[in-house]
Structure 1
Amino acid sequence: MKSLPSHRTTALQALLVTFLWSTSYVLVKIGLREIPALTFAGIRYGLAFLVLLILATRGGHIRSLRGIRRHIWFRLITLGLLFYTLTQGGNFLALNYLPAVSVNLLFSLTSIFVAMMGIPVLGERPTVLQWVGIWIALLGAVVYFYPVSFPAGQIIGITAAVVGLLANSASSILGREINRQRDLEPIQVTLVSMGVGAFVLLTIGIQFQGLPQLTLTNWAIITWLAVVNTAFAFTLWNRTLRTLSAMESSIINNTMLIQIPVLAVLFLGERINLKEIIGLVIAGLGAVIVQLARRDDGKGSGIGD
């Protein structure tokens, strides 16, 4: 009986993490009003890297990095470029041109693309149930965006989101492969990949978009995103994975499909019609089916938001 409150507390902690990650969409949209997208993303993850570096140093995780083999370093660098430079860069750019709800829907299709990429890359064929989930999710996306007609400005956002989606899917597969080897702790994987990805992202951002004069409000948003929504949320999420089952983690993680639209309506003034709500529900159902039908542990790569 004593284990039940502990398990319930862990589930609530995981739900808190998904809420923090959902608020990121709102905070990023607000910050993008004054901060260029790529520079914004680079500063956020650069600061988050420094926070994780302090935590990793105190936890004694830095010394063991010196013995990493060269091919693992190559994978970590590749992971950083995929998950932070391309995925998060694409995410921030997409949010600069598209409603948060639309970006949320597109990135929710990650599990579908992971399942499809797993065929040639990992030799994993989706199960019958996963194929059902894939088609349901794609149907939901079609319903949401129908009729397919985007203003000129939104095409840039759609392109950025698609690039981010593909990079996110590839990074998920690579992250799973790295964590399967169990050579490194999740914080080590995140630390190295985030450091590399943030450096490249910030360099590109400053080079092409410049470094604006940041206000106290801008710094408050960036600091909260880096310290709370990234470093703290990452640490807490990976702790919950020790207790929650793969099914529980997947279900809790997918509550973001509901949380983000609600937050976008309340705080960003975005509007969602009945057709879009139906599309979101259908796509979300498909994504959940694909994730729950996975053959592995289904808990993801553990590389954080």
Structure 2
Amino acid sequence: MKKNKFFAILIAVFVTLLWASSYILNKIVFNESVIGPLTLSGLRYLIASISIATAIFMWRSFRHERERTDRIQLNWLQYMLLGFFGFFLAQGMQYVGQFFITPTQTSLILCLGNILIVLFIDVFWLKEIKNRAVYYFAFGVAISVLVYYYPWNLSLADIIGVLFVLLSSVGYAIHLSYSRHVIANKQMRVEDVVVKPMLIGAFLLLVIGFSMEPFPTLKLKSYFIILWLGVINGGVAFYLWGLTQKFLKAYESSMINNLILIEVALMDIWILHSSISITQAIAICFTAIFIILIQFVRTKAEGAH
């Protein structure tokens, strides 16, 4: 059992590296080709949804699994809401933000936005958080991000990027809360809550992207990157992460997932040659620490119940 858990941790860390690299690969495509962020995100999630659906179909065919008739189906309105908030808004707007700001800035603002908006929804709707320490640590995240941006002389592009990433956080928080609301049955399958909404979100992104953005002009490298983003960073990474959940507890997965913030910053420096000051590096570390503390407190509270 310990050996299985050890390999699950290694696989989970590998998946975080794949997901962190997505920020860098997106920026490379933006820098080397003519493609809008909505179009790029739409192509990625179209490829990812097809990859996941194909893998699931082949696996179930190999195991000769039959369709279950007793499982609960979502209706098309629910699919549309999950697709809109989870992929068009949460992912599409994040890509728009990445178009204007660096990968490190994107991951920082995303962490801050996701935490603050999830807490906002909890205060006015879910009311699940009982420990006030969560709010103190969230305040610590906000201060850390403000320190990172000090002395706050942001350009117009920076402001636009930050606003779109925060908008994506709104989509993330609503999608997370709504998913918990509709997924009340363990019989629901991957394609019910991920593949179909992802396909719907990709379609929306592509329709609006092709109507509002310039027609893509891609270099050969960009074609390979988009394919990689969809199949490997999307389909394969999602599948591997799902496998690790059989051996890792929720708080362990959350802790490992926090590596993405640090990984993005290091990749940003190493691959894109971005530079950060000592103060900014410290701010990133404190952001990660406060996020871990938030998850630790919430997990401990859930365990107490």
State the TM-score, normalizing by the size of structure 1: 0.89
Q: Which residue of 1 aligns with 2:220?
A: 216
Q: d(CA) in 2 for partners of 1:73 and 1:97? A: 34
2:6 equivalent to 1:8:
yes
Q: d(CA) in 2 for partners of 1:166 and 1:291? A: 19
Question: Aligned-pair distance for 1:67?
Answer: 6.8
Query: Structure 2: where are the runs of 5+ without partners?
Result: none
Q: Give percent identity, aligned residues only.
A: 26
Q: d(CA) in 2 for partners of 1:21 and 1:168? A: 16
2:260 equivalent to 1:247:
no
Question: Aligned-pair distance for 1:139?
Answer: 1.4
Q: How does 1:190-209 map to 2 (within 5 A)?
A: 190-209=194-213
Letter in 1 for 2:24: V
Comparing 23-32 with 155-164, which one deviates more in the overlay?
155-164
Question: Aligned-pair distance for 1:290?
Answer: 1.6
2:173 equivalent to 1:169:
yes
8 Å contact 2:4–2:247 — kept in the other structure?
no
- The 3-state SS of whatever aligns with 1:74 is helix
2:143 equivalent to 1:139:
yes
Equivalent pairs counted in the alignment come to 295
Comparing 223-232 with 154-163, which one deviates more in the overlay?
154-163
Comparing 248-257 with 152-161, which one deviates more in the overlay?
152-161
Q: Which of 107, 123, 140 does residue 104 from structure 1 map onto?
A: 107
8 Å contact 1:136–1:285 — kept in the other structure?
no
Letter in 1 for 2:89: L
Structure 1 runs of 4+ with >6 Å offset:
none
Please list the CA deviations of residues 146-169 of structure 1 after superposition, one character each: whole Å capped at 9, or x if unmatched: 222211222221221111122112
Query: Structure 1: where are the runs of 5+ without partners?
Result: 299-305
8 Å contact 2:11–2:244 — kept in the other structure?
yes
Q: Which residue of 1 aligns with 2:87?
A: 84
Please list the CA deviations of residues 85-144 of structure 1 after superposition, one character each: whole Å capped at 9, or x if unmatched: 111111111111101111010111213421331222223234123122211111111211
8 Å contact 1:111–1:290 — kept in the other structure?
no
Letter in 2 for 1:42: G
Q: Which residue of 2 aligns with 1:303?
A: none
CA RMSD of aligned residues (A): 2.3
- The 3-state SS of whatever aligns with 1:243 is coil
Please list the CA deviations of residues 13-65 of structure 1 after superposition, one character each: whole Å capped at 9, or x if unmatched: 00000000001011000011212111111111111111112123234499559
Q: Which residue of 2 aligns with 1:93?
A: 96
Q: d(CA) in 2 for partners of 1:168 and 1:267? A: 28
Q: d(CA) in 1 for partners of 2:261 and 2:130? A: 23
Q: Which of 120, 124, 145 does residue 128 from structure 2 map onto?
A: 124
Q: d(CA) in 1 for partners of 2:283 and 2:249? A: 28
Q: Which residue of 1 aligns with 2:18?
A: 20
Comparing 219-228 with 106-115, which one deviates more in the overlay?
106-115
Letter in 1 for 2:56: A
Q: Which residue of 1 aligns with 2:277?
A: 273
8 Å contact 2:52–2:235 — kept in the other structure?
yes
Q: Which residue of 2 aligns with 1:289?
A: 293
- The 3-state SS of whatever aligns with 2:241 is helix
Question: Aligned-pair distance for 1:224?
Answer: 0.4
Letter in 2 for 1:221: I
2:44 equivalent to 1:50:
no
